[in-house]
Amino acid sequence: MAGTLVLVQTLNGLQFGVLLFLIAAGLTLVFGVMDFVNLAHGVQYMLGAYLAVAFYGVVGNFFIALVLALLAALAFGLLLEFLVFRHLYGRDHLDQVIATFGIILFLNHAVKVIWGAAPLSLPVPDLFDGSVVFMDGLRYPIWRLMIIASGLAVAAGLYLMVTFTRFGMLIRAGATNARMVSALGVNIERLFMIVFGFGTMLAGFAGIMIAPILSVEPGMGDNILILAFVVIVIGGIGSIRGAFLGALLIGLVDTLGRSFSVDILRLAMAPSPARIVGPAIASMLIYLLMAVVLYLRPTGLFPARGR
């Protein structure tokens, strides 16, 4: 295995990990603070990408489109919270799963009606087009580095907010015991609304950042939602630190496993069966990792205090 290939795939794993973190951070806050199972979180990631494409078509500037798409994603998330989700707080998790699954079906069909079923694309901003030369024979796209940098910046900002601000204190307290926070006079409904809107913006931001790399199409948030749930199970429900470390771990394990599983298995078996067994094992690695974590630490690696 060439060292340059390992480095490239490691960077790809970090990029995938920070993307998962942007989605899982909002999901773990909603789940941890509100005890609300939101299967529709993935469609908010999809809507962020679609809104960015739509606004870019109007204004022709990526960064203006990004800001407008974030504001629109926030407004749409708050509208959903007001019309649908707040009526499900305190209900059985099965009710929440069924209702939010219905929203997935509705919104996936809605984007087909509005934008069509054909995949759309968003161009990479001219400022970050091209690639960086790390060494001879190794060039890496600047935009992927920007995704890594933006994810790390968001992670640092979330850590500072959750650790050192009053709002962060309320989030941590809500993740530990929401009923006690409400009993102490905090407007828990408003707290829930802010947390939900914030989670929507993070998911939308992830969709916007990945849109120049992947096709923007209906259902693009469904598969990544499953991985986001794996992240919060491994990291610990309600924990930003757990979501960050769990996302990086999943990103690296999945990317490196898919890239090098066949080469590693060739050390122990013939090339032909290695090519068959390797991809099968690689596709299961993150779920095997989740099973091991659940067996050793049922609450996750870094659960919120009180869980």
Using only C-alpha atoms, the chain has a radius of gyration, in whole angstroms, of 20
pTM score over 0.85: yes
Instruction: Give the residue among 158, 177, 189, 187 at the shortest CA–CA distance from 33.
Output: 177
CATH of region 3-296, choose from 3.30.980, 1.10.3470, 3.40.50, 1.10.1760: 1.10.3470
Name, in order, each residue with C-beta under 8 angstroms of 253's C-beta and a sequence gap of 6 or more. 13, 285, 286, 289
What does the pLDDT read at residue 72?
A: 92
The chain-wide mean pLDDT, for the chain, equals 84
Token couple for 285: 């690695």
Q: Is the pLDDT confidence value at 1 over 60?
A: no
Q: Is the pLDDT confidence value at 178 over 70?
A: no
Amino acid at 95: D
Coarse DSSP helix, strand, coil percentages of the chain, rounded to the nearest 5 percent: 75, 5, 20
Q: In the Cβ-directed half-sphere of 149, how many Cα atoms lie within 13 Å?
A: 7
Q: Average of pLDDT values for 9-22?
A: 89
User: For the chain, what are the domain ranges?
Assistant: 3-296
The DSSP code sequence of 11-71 is: HHHHHHHHHHHHHHHHHHHHHHHH----TTHHHHHHHHHHHHHHHHHHH--HHHHHHHHHH
Name, in order, each residue with C-beta under 8 angstroms of 1's C-beta and a sequence gap of 6 or more. 260, 263
Name, in order, each residue with C-beta under 8 angstroms of 19's C-beta and a sequence gap of 6 or more. 147, 151, 206, 209, 210, 224, 251
Q: Is the pLDDT confidence value at 62 over 60?
A: yes
Q: Is the pLDDT confidence value at 42 over 70?
A: yes
Q: How many CB atoms lie within 10 A of CB 100?
A: 21
What does the pLDDT read at residue 128?
A: 85
Token couple for 59: 């204004």
Q: Is the pLDDT confidence value at 50 over 90?
A: yes
Please list the alpha-helical segments (H only) found in 211-270: 220-235, 240-265
Token couple for 220: 């693009």
